[in-house]
Homo-oligomer: A and B are copies of this chain.
Amino acid sequence: MRRFCYFVVVLICAVGAGCAVGNDSVNDVFLLPDPVSDGSLSVEQAMQRRRSVRAFADTSLTVEAVSQLLWSAQGITDSRRELRTAPSAGATYPLELLLVVGAVEGLDAGIYRYQVAEHALARIAGGDLRSDLARASLGQAFIGQAPLSIVFTGVHGRTARRYGDRAERYVAMEAGHAAQNVYLQAVSLELGTVVVGAFRDEQIAELLRLESAEKPLYILPVGHAE
């Protein structure tokens, strides 16, 4: 399936006159390496060691770590039924993940959107925008220092169509489920993260080029604890 997706992407690029590759291109698709589904740290130890980390070393992340963190948040764990690592009310899946990449080996700085079905990243903007992200987050400087931030957004309409007013609560809960997985996965990878919920919603939305139906929920800077 992933090979097929890659083939389609290559085909689209080959026939598309405007297909650009390089630092300034957008809409590139980057297939992530396969995540692993086993490791050496027990789930209890991950919970025991989990702490919020707000100081990050000046070292980059590997693309394998990024792959694993995104899998933990929303990765597909049952391809037949398309179930994920975190539950969703009525399988409506309102969450989206965006990445603000600063220092990840093999991945240009920029903004990417996680494509769950393909376990891939689609680039939507180039350049190192970490300091802009920190500014929109009320100046929480550690966000600008982390090599990567994962931004959780919610398309509430997907869930509201089925659950009405209750959707607001459900979507926030789902962000919590997925973010807890990222916390625990980070511990297993000997990385650190923290959930940030305080930011200027409109500035984040503008920075990430969100449509009006998609709202920012959480920012999770990730890196090696300093």
Q: Separation in Å of the A78 CB from the closest CB of chain B?
A: 8
Binds B, one of A56-64, A96-104, A180-188: A180-188
Instruction: Give the distance in Å from the alpha carbon of A208 to the alpha carbon of B53 in the complex.
Output: 36
A83 sits at the interface (CB 8 A): yes
B42 engages A41 (CB within 8 Å): yes
Please indicate which of the listed interface residues A86, A89, A180 has the most CB atoms of chain B within 10 Å of its own CB. A180
Q: Separation in Å of the A171 CB from the closest CB of chain B?
A: 8
Report which of B77, B78, B170, B181 forms a contact with A197, defined as CB distance below 8 A. B170
B188 engages A179 (CB within 8 Å): no
Contact with B along A172-213 (1 / 0, CB 8 A): 111111111101110110000011011000000000000000
Q: Determine the chain B residues whose CB is within 8 A of the CB of A77 once the complex forms.
A: 47-50
Instruction: Give the distance in Å from the alpha carbon of A36 to the alpha carbon of B42 in the complex.
Output: 11
22 pairs, CB–CB < 8 Å, chain A vs chain B: A35-B44, A36-B44, A37-B45, A37-B48, A40-B42, A41-B42, A42-B188, A47-B72, A47-B85, A47-B185, A48-B85, A50-B77, A50-B87, A86-B180, A169-B172, A170-B197, A173-B218, A174-B176, A175-B176, A176-B177, A177-B183, A184-B184
